[in-house]
Amino acid sequence: MHFTQIDAPSLQDVPADVRPWVAILIALVLATVLTLILRQVFNRVFRDDELIRKEVSRARIPFFLTVALAGAAVTTTTLIGPSEVPFAVTFLLWGALIASIAWLLVVLLSLTEATLLAKYKKDAANSGSRLSRMKTQVTLIRRLVTALILLIGVAAILLLIPQVRAVGAGLLASAGLASVIAGLAVQGTLSNVFAGLQIAFTEAVRVDDTVVVEAQQGVIEDITLTYVVVRTADGRRLILPSTYFTTTPFENWSRGSAELNGNIVLDLNWSAPVDEIRRRVTQLLESTDLWDGRSNSVNVTDAIGGMLKLTIIVSARNSGDLWELKNFIRERVTKDLQQKFPEALPHPPAYPSANPPAAK
């Protein structure tokens, strides 16, 4: 008994004019299938993390384009002789492939950053200061690698042009002079870039640190390769070059720990019930979650000119909680003094009348 062998159809059996379009269609189908499969896999793996699923969804388009363009570029150049493909088509195809690869790598860097930070946040052993340090360093590294990827991508696209490759030899011959000129041109920018890296890895400041710069208190909102954004208490943003934090003295209230101490100063009469105020402050602190339980003291720090200077020292987990806690204690203590011990409050000075009597 004899069996007849049937050869499977191949692209070589397709007419030459139709062959490139069939190859491109196969690449598109393959890219679509792979994109859908990987999307389902990642959505299932990270179904409990909305942030990571959002980053994964951003990678769908660049991944699809990368697979489709890679398949189209390889199959087209394989099935058709390189000399038969117009230069414009080859340039657009490979240029688009390089751009899509760069785009995909940038998105994957963001996905890696989100995954690392999400995993770090879930670890209960990581305090707020350690999380801020991790966030600062990972974000800055991601931005630096992103800049390198974009630079390499642009260079690779330019090298696809034969004229540019020819000019490249001449540029390499004068690399010494070019490097000197470029170094002088971007000296300020490079200084800020290196200052940004120094800030990230020496931990002079971190994201969410409380600092005092230019005589203003604020919180570090963002650290980029070249500048630092400081959010002030009234919502304004100070944009400072990275070199500011490596050349200018500044205060960092969160250095080593985000926990802070603060003091509330009250000027009272000599009849002020200090012991009663001390008990009331302890009661108020124990009634609020703003207090971290570290510092609680009420002391007379000065007595001069017929007045007592009462200093209340409290502590909180961060600058925001400390601000709210100080306001809470100040308002409640002064309200209690007004209601129960009004004689302890200083009398307002006698201001001159706004409408003095007319001269006779």
Express as a percent the part of the chain with pLDDT over 70.
68
What integer is the mean pLDDT of 330-346? Answer: 89
Which class is domain 260-344? Answer: alpha beta
* pLDDT at 295 > cutoff 70: yes
Strand order in the sheet with 210-213: 237-241, 227-232, 216-223, 210-213, 251-252
- Quote the tokens at residue 164: 């540019």
What integer is the mean pLDDT of 306-332? Answer: 86
By C-alpha distance, which of 310, 238, 220 is closest to 274?
A: 310
CATH number given to 202-252: 2.30.30.60
In sequence order, the β-bridge partners of residue 315 are: 261
Residue 166's pLDDT is: 59
Per residue in 185-211, pLDDT (tens digit) is 445 566 767 777 777 677 778 777 778
Query: 58 with 106: CB under 8 angstroms?
Result: no
- Quote the tokens at residue 131: 């999380």
Residue 28's pLDDT is: 74
Residue-wise DSSP of 280-306: HHHHHHHT-TTEEEEEEEEEEEEEETT
The secondary element (H helix, E strand) that includes residue 210 is strand 210-213
Residue 276's pLDDT is: 92
Residue 177's pLDDT is: 45
When pLDDT is cut at 50, 70 and 90, the band that residue 164 belongs to is low
Residue 283's pLDDT is: 92
Per residue in 1-42, pLDDT (tens digit) is 444 444 444 555 555 555 566 666 766 777 777 777 777 777
pTM of the predicted model over 0.85: no
Residue 257's pLDDT is: 59
Residue 160's pLDDT is: 77
* pLDDT at 279 > cutoff 50: yes
Which residue ranges make up each domain of the chain?
A: 11-189, 202-252, 260-344
